[in-house]
Structure 1
């Protein structure tokens, strides 16, 4: 590869890297076909291929069987076994929720200051989905809209480090790594509180009130932490009761 071609390929790769970093290209997003992508980026197809190859080598893009490419799945700095180990310890789940309370408050405050009109429209769309799922008594759809609203909040913060960290955490949340959202959304009284709390976060951002948005986000995470602890305690009591009935499964019945 000549110096001129290498420079053009590096510039192409850098442009795509910037889109990934700022969150415009998201983990798992498919790229356009080469022909259209080259036109969009205003580069030749050989230069595009060289730039894409650089990104594949850096682990930012993955090639697919049909010849397409997509943004690599989001990874974290943890190996899977370590994540599983962390998630199995109640004290780590507490630490996770404690961290999220601080970062969610920060994200909401920044979003109230920095959100663009498009960010606000995305946030409003997530809130409408939460309301619709709540009215339809669809806990799974409401839980999915919940995570999407928080991701929209991180994007609206326009802090790329915060965005990428919180995207990793939200990915773990979708997979139920630290706690199962269904345990929250299975309880109608909890779902109602969560809906009101999400509305308060949304309204604080829309009003461009950083203090209100931040306070609402932190209160939401404190409630989530408390609700999960109470649910876990209730389940533990139920387990004890069942073991008593069954004689600890060690006595003849």
Structure 2
């Protein structure tokens, strides 16, 4: 079932009197619970497409539809509300707050969420999220005492604690060694399958493409294979 539609997406940047077209009319649909990988050479437009899809960057043309609603017609506050409620984000680096424990990282995320939960519900959500990523036993640990893979697991728990419908992952394994990359990708693949989360992932790592149900290749701002 199609959950997310990108239609004729264009993006251009101005450099003085000249314009550079980064995305040249992208059409892409994301299905519920599907893990899609965006691949292509540096400069092909992968990360630009992901940030536009996630509502983190304005587009120059086209439309974005999520659950039948046109996000392109929403104002900035409405887009922010969609991001906060339905989208999760994982980046190349975990970006954990150094002076917060694992549990406190997730508490902070809930503090900034649109929905407010009772103390009992908050505690249950935190335990569930950390158990899902096998980090509950490390709930009182600080980032400085964790490996790169463990930090990324916490970042994933933070991204899913509000039960998003879509997870946007930009090079989630780029800073990890091969063993940790496999662990993180197995986790992301399991989340897509068991929690029915739609995943759009940008990657340069061909070794993790086997976890994707669908591979979309980009070149010079266009999709050349899907």
TM class by shorter chain equals: under 0.3
Which structure features the higher share of strand residues? 2
- State which structure, 1 or 2, has the greater radius of gyration over its C-alpha atoms: 1
Q: Report the TM-score when normalising by structure 1.
A: 0.25
Q: Which structure would you say has the larger RCO, counting Cα contacts within 8 Å and 6 or more residues apart?
A: 2
TM-score by length of 2: 0.27
Between Structure 1 and Structure 2, which shows a larger proportion of helix residues? 1
